[in-house]
Amino acid sequence: MSTFLPLTRPTLDEETIAGVAEVLRSGWITSGPKVKEFEAKLSELFGGRPVRVFNSGTATLEVALRLAGIKAGDEVITTPLSWVATSNVILTVGARPVFVDIDPVTRNIDLDAIEAAITPATKAIIPVDLAGLPVDRDKLYQIAARHGLRVIEDAAQSMGSSWQGRLIGSFGDLVSFSFHPNKNLTSIEGGCLVMTEESDAALAEQYRLQGVVRSGMDGMDVKVLGGKFNLTDVAARVGIGQLARLDEFTHQRRELAREYFKQLESPKALALGIGLPVADFEQSNWHMFQVMLPEGEGWPRRAEVMEKMHAAGVGTGVHYPPIHLFTLYREAGWQEGNFPQAEHAGRNILTLPLFPTMTADDVSRVVATLVSTLQSFLPS
């Protein structure tokens, strides 16, 4: 029987593992020299912009909102098709998320629908690069400039992605990345926030650790309400090892995505009506490979497909259920039918395995399993 193929698997080399052991032996395992080294390397990657690392990509979004001055009574426009943290952080700072439906082709927020959602209370936009496919940054920032809005890029999934030849994070307003284990670069848990001003970076440090400002040998003050969001040196050392291989990881993911298209564009697969993502092999980092399952009479529910594929030794995932249909958000007034494109994706989108150590044979196995699973529901 074939070994189970998981949805994703982090790639941690022996040099990184040895480096973590060195940090553990050093006695300095919380935030220290490795955090500073990681931040310096990330800043270099992003063209010298200020970068601070945090213990999660959720923390980076929350701090970005605070840096942008978002507060109670404000509105922030975002997509309903994302990990729920994207909108939860808006609630955390007391503001109101305003959802805009997705573009059915890119599956990102429909930029053409944003302006209709802008009100006098709108203060910011949080776009999400679903699966690493970048939102059109030119159109996004034109809209923001016309209406005087801040942009907080939820680039949690887009480490290594680019727009028009520019690396995501090397330009723009506030850019938030996640280093969760399922991301293209991991620090086990963690994230970073890329900013434009050193003054913002200094304030981000205060928000990162209880608002504390130190001076001299024993001076301490607290000027803002901060949290406990710092990254450890252990995690930073993992991130440093990953960063050195980011280009390699991105290249391998793109090659695997090409193989997925080659396999899924076969007559047998096309006949099943499987919806494919945008075939962008230059700008997307291919954080995920997501297909859209056929929907309608005679077709199985997604859970049935996932169960059969799991039984055949292939892991799958769902990214994501529409945020506005969670109980917390329904209680705030959203309901089914508000965002039909996001709801269609939420019912039918399926994430297939994709990680750097996969092979073309693994892709063939995934596609063959998906095709045979769907065919098993067809009338004989």
Query: Average per-residue pLDDT in the chain?
Result: 97
User: pLDDT per residue over 327-364, tens digit each?
Assistant: 999 999 999 999 999 999 999 999 999 999 999 999 99
- Residue tagged 């304030």 (tokens): 203
Which CA distances in Å does 158 have to 41, 57, 153, 164, 270? 17, 12, 10, 14, 28
Longest dimension (CA), the chain: 79
pLDDT of residue 298: 87
The DSSP bridge partners found for residue 213 are 221
Task: For the chain, give the percent of residues with pLDDT over 90.
Answer: 96
pLDDT of residue 236: 98
The DSSP bridge partners found for residue 99 are 78
Mean pLDDT, rounded, for 213-224: 95
Return the number of other C-beta atoms located less than 10 Å from residue 318's C-beta.
Answer: 15
Mean pLDDT, rounded, for 208-233: 96
pLDDT of 191 higher than 90: yes
CATH 3.40.640.10 domain extents, the chain: 14-243
Its pTM stands at 0.96
Mean pLDDT, rounded, for 66-76: 98
- Are 67 and 217 spatial neighbours (Cβ–Cβ below 8 Å)? no
Mean pLDDT, rounded, for 157-176: 98
Structure letter (DSSP) for residue 323: G
Sheet holding 174-178, edge to edge: 51-54, 191-194, 174-178, 150-154, 122-126, 75-78, 96-99
Token digits of residue 244: 């050195």
Token digits of residue 257: 């995505």
Return the number of other C-beta atoms located less than 10 Å from residue 216's C-beta.
Answer: 6
Token digits of residue 274: 């499987």
Measure CA of the first residue to CA of the last residue in the chain; give whole Å: 27
- Are 83 and 61 spatial neighbours (Cβ–Cβ below 8 Å)? no
User: pLDDT per residue over 26-54, tens digit each?
Assistant: 999 999 999 999 999 999 999 999 999 99
Phi, psi dihedrals of residue 356, rounded to the nearest 5°: -60, -30
Topology annotation, domain 246-375: Aspartate Aminotransferase, domain 1 (3.90.1150)
Dihedral angle computed from the Cα positions of residues 60, 178, 230 and 61, in that order, rounded to the nearest 10 degrees: 10
Distance CA 345, CA 273 (A): 14
320 closest CA partner among 365, 287, 271: 287
User: pLDDT per residue over 269-309, tens digit each?
Assistant: 999 999 999 999 999 999 999 999 999 988 999 999 999 99
User: Out of 34, 123, 183, 308, which one is annotated catalytic?
Assistant: 183
Distance CA 235, CA 264 (A): 37
pLDDT of residue 2: 75
- Are 269 and 371 spatial neighbours (Cβ–Cβ below 8 Å)? yes
Distance CA 300, CA 320 (A): 19
Distance CA 273, CA 295 (A): 9
Return the number of other C-beta atoms located less than 10 Å from residue 230's C-beta.
Answer: 19
How many residues are given for the chain?
380
pLDDT of residue 1: 53
CATH 3.90.1150.10 domain extents, the chain: 246-375
pLDDT of residue 380: 67
130 closest CA partner among 274, 318, 305, 258: 318
User: pLDDT per residue over 238-253, tens digit each?
Assistant: 999 999 999 999 999 9
- Are 153 and 175 spatial neighbours (Cβ–Cβ below 8 Å)? yes
User: pLDDT per residue over 74-108, tens digit each?
Assistant: 999 999 999 999 999 999 999 999 999 999 999 99
Q: Pick one of 3.40.640.10, 3.40.47.10, 3.90.25.10, 1.10.760.10 as the CATH number of 14-243.
A: 3.40.640.10
Question: Among this protein's residues, is 223 annotated catalytic?
Answer: no
Within 13 Å of residue 24, how many CA atoms lie on the same side as its CB? 8
